[in-house]
Amino acid sequence: MFKVYGRANSINVRKVLWMLDEVAQPYSREDWGRGYRPTSEAEFVKVSNFGVVPVVSDDGFILRESQTIVRYLANKHARHDLYPADLKTRALIEAWMDWAAIDLYGAARPVFHAMIVNAPDPMKAIAPADGVAAWAVQMRRLDSQLAHSGPFLLGSQFTIADIPTGMVVNRWFTLPFEKPALPAVSAYYDRLAERPAFRTHGRNGTP
């Protein structure tokens, strides 16, 4: 049995849930993390002492880190359409995944925390201007890439590179602040929404 430890509103957990649906992997899930059972509890620590979600158990094989879990699932299910075996293509996919997790999400995180996590009334919160500006720099970089390569990060084929990127793009469009026009990103967001798994775990109204 495949089991996911982590709350369904976590952006990193949602990457894994999206991938699980893409590969049609049955799973169960338990809520852990902010707003739910703390990961400092002994039951969670027995599974992972890193204190972060998601963590998965694949018949007792424990794995953490959302990006790694996504790649593991692609390999487990031999989904070479999502994660091609060609070395150079894989390197490009992994580079975009790293960028999405570090640069893109790193720019988005302060804005999300200011508006949602730390705000008593998220709809009245004002996103910090410098945070939005830093995020917009990365989003313009994404817009340029998609305008050049589109409709997905590596061209015509959806790959696992689009999963972490797509989750941050969803957060960009869902949070209420003034945004620059990014036509290629807007088209990308709509293209991702053609995938049922993204509508379920990504573009579902949750930032």
Could you give all domains of the chain from N- to C-terminal order, each with its CATH number? Answer: 2-76 (3.40.30.10), 87-199 (1.20.1050.10)
Determine the longest span between alpha carbons in the chain, in angstroms: 49
* Interval 131-155: pLDDT, tens: 899 999 999 999 999 999 999 999 9
> Mean pLDDT for the chain?
95
pLDDT in tens, 152-163: 999 999 999 999
Average pLDDT over residues 112-117: 90
DSSP string over 121-167: SGGG----HHHHHHHHHHHHHHHHHHHHH-SBTTBSS--TTHHHHHH
Q: How far apart are CA 191 and CA 155, in angstroms?
A: 13
Whole-model pTM?
0.95
Q: What's the confidence (pLDDT) of residue 122? A: 58
CA–CA distance, 200 with 188 (Å, rounded to integer): 17
Scanning the chain, the segments in alpha helix (DSSP H) are 11-22, 42-47, 66-76, 87-99, 105-112, 129-149, 162-174, 183-192, 196-201
